[in-house]
Amino acid sequence: MLTIEVLYRFIKVHPIETALISLASIITIISLSLQLKSTNSKQSVLSAQTSIKEPSVQSNSQPTTKNLSPTTIFVDVSGAVKEPGVYEVESGVRLEDVIELAGGLSEEADKRYVSRNYNLAKFVGDQEKIYIPYTWDIINGTFVEQKRILEYLQPLYLNNDKTPLLSKEGSSDAQSEGGGLTISINDASKEELETLPGIGPVTAQKIIDNRPYTSLDELLSRKVVNQSTFEKIKEFIEL
């Protein structure tokens, strides 16, 4: 009660000072209110920005994971392999692995040519074409390698008793229809017979087991080889 009387007397004696004090108090309250409101607004804006950025962080992490996954490539394998075709493999695969996927080399492949000219440890690339040559590709000159051809011909000229197994065009020996080099189906060794187109170890042994022959057609009549194989080898054989 005493405090109220003192305050009343002060206001009555000092009206101007009282008015100024009141005005200053009002201004202070308004300033504090505005400052508090501004602080709350900034916090709301920061909160909103944080919530917007979070999804983008997650979306950026997905491509990073995707980039780490293995890349697949496609390789076309054909020629003297057991299962030619287009194969989908991981990048970084080597030629040896691709040939194995295609079933490995067939009996008609020129394995010596492959071992000499193909780097099985090389990496294969996307859309690469790999052709494994047949034995007759080398004989016909489709794949030429001078040193390889000389190596192929040399052991075919002489039998164990040093008699010729092959005939040359223009020589006095028996010649094939095409006049080229020929192999005797009655005298050639198993290894020499395997150099013929389409003749593998099994068929070569079959030819030897059915000797002697009086005509080339007996390879068909005795069912040693089928018609398609006979057509491939008839220009390269003699009795």
**Could you report the per-residue pLDDT of 179-227, keeping only the tens digit for each?**
446 788 988 888 888 888 889 889 999 999 988 888 899 999 999 999 9
pLDDT of residue 187: 85
Distance CA 148, CA 130 (A): 20
Identify whether the C-beta of residue 220 lies closer than 8 Å to the C-beta of residue 230. Answer: yes
For position 211, what pLDDT does the model report? 87
pLDDT of 48 reads 54
pLDDT at 2: 54
Decide if 191 contacts 185 (C-beta within 8 A): no
Per-residue pLDDT of 133-149, as tens digits, reads 998 887 777 776 544 44
pLDDT for the residue 49: 55
The pLDDT of residue 29: 85
Instruction: Check residue 10 and give its pLDDT.
Output: 67
Read off the amino acid at residue 144: V
Residue 49, token pair as written in the block: 């920005």
pTM to 2 decimal places? 0.37
Q: How many residues does the structure list for the chain?
A: 239
Pick out the chain residues at pLDDT < 70.
Answer: 1-8, 10-12, 40-70, 144-181
